[in-house]
Chains A and B, each alone.
Chain A
Amino acid sequence: MADTVDIEKKEAQTTDGTEHTREVKVYHPAVDIVEKEKEILLTADMPGVDDKSIDITLDKNVLTIYGKVDPNVPQQYQASYVEYGIGDYRRSFTLSEEIDRQRIEATVKNGVLKLVLPKAEAAKAKKIEVRAA
């Protein structure tokens, strides 16, 4: 079972010694990661993000997703209930060698990011026939 159980919207950590340049909160999106035979699927809940406001970067082994959210709140409002904070999303993942970096695909629909990370040819499991001697 996955050891991560924190599925509340929680703030993303900044790297030590760095500061945000914009006055917004940054949250950790909830993510599902599923391994299939030929690919790894990563699904992230990022409500408020569309294909234009998302930024995916791959630097060496680290894949970072960053989604910008337009706060879009009325002027001079008074909050009656506030259950979620509005802010951007950021999360980084370390990729193993088995991912084919050239063929990573990403789609965003209804605030959900789907990333398909295909496995490189060499990493696909091969079944080795055992012959009777």
Chain B
Amino acid sequence: MKFKDLIPWGTARGSVAVKHGDNDPFTALQRQINDVFNGFFRGFDMEPFWGGGIGFNPSVNVLETDKEITVTAELPGMDEHDLDVTLTKDMLSLKGQKKAEKEDKGTNYYHMERSYGSFVRSIPLPCEVDDAKVEAEFKKGILTIKLPKSPEAVKDTKKVQIKAG
């Protein structure tokens, strides 16, 4: 293993830190800390002063085939009007707010595992896409964005022949 591989910020392509989902200890720790703070304010029947905005951070998958890139995000409880998707040359941004349902006074919480708040995710795209043909669909709490690769990007892939020695 090279020394560079040990440095956590030297990873992958693009400028955005990659969250590793289920088993990344840092994400788990951050969520636990958020949960403690949110729970603290809820315990006093108050809204956190940042509006509960640090809780929700949707998970994103990016899959690539020969012709297109598919980005999916888990956004349960949101609808398409709460979402804002923007595309620049090499970056896809998802913005939105998941609102907490207002409950009446005098309710007791037994379990608080779901998270709310606003979020911004920027996803660096592995190659150029044809921005006229991008399609987004929101169904069953999952946002799916299909980004066909631009003709140049498809063409640029060259197969390198390996000669037998």
By a beta-carbon cutoff of 8 Å, the part of chain A in contact with chain B is 1-2, 4-11, 30-37, 40, 43, 45-50, 73-86, 110-112
Total residue contacts A-B, CB cutoff 8 A = 149
| B residues less than 8 Å from A34 (CB atoms) | 103, 107-110
B117 at the binding interface (Cβ < 8 Å): no
| A residues less than 8 Å from B21 (CB atoms) | 8-9, 82-85
Q: Kindly provide the distance from the CB of A89 to the nearest chain B CB, expressed in whole angstroms.
A: 11
| A residues less than 8 Å from B32 (CB atoms) | 5
- Specify the chain A residue showing the minimal Cβ separation from B31: A7
Complex interface: stretch among B46-54, B62-70, B152-160: B62-70
For B, the interface residue count at a CB cutoff of 8 angstroms equals 50
B93 at the binding interface (Cβ < 8 Å): no
**CA of A111 to CA of B40 in the docked complex: distance in angstroms?**
28
**CA of A39 to CA of B110 in the docked complex: distance in angstroms?**
13
**CA of A59 to CA of B106 in the docked complex: distance in angstroms?**
31
| B residues less than 8 Å from A43 (CB atoms) | 101, 114
Are the CB atoms of B113 and A80 closer together than 8 Å? no
| A residues less than 8 Å from B68 (CB atoms) | 74
Are the CB atoms of A85 and B22 closer together than 8 Å? yes
B20 at the binding interface (Cβ < 8 Å): yes
- Specify the chain A residue showing the minimal Cβ separation from B19: A83
B43 at the binding interface (Cβ < 8 Å): yes
Chosen A-B contacts, 29 in total, with CB atoms closer than 8 Å, are A2-B112, A5-B32, A7-B35, A7-B113, A7-B114, A8-B21, A8-B28, A11-B22, A31-B114, A32-B112, A33-B111, A34-B109, A36-B104, A45-B76, A45-B114, A48-B142, A77-B63, A77-B65, A79-B63, A80-B64, A81-B61, A83-B19, A84-B61, A84-B74, A85-B22, A110-B75, A111-B141, A111-B142, A112-B141
- Specify the chain A residue showing the minimal Cβ separation from B40: A1
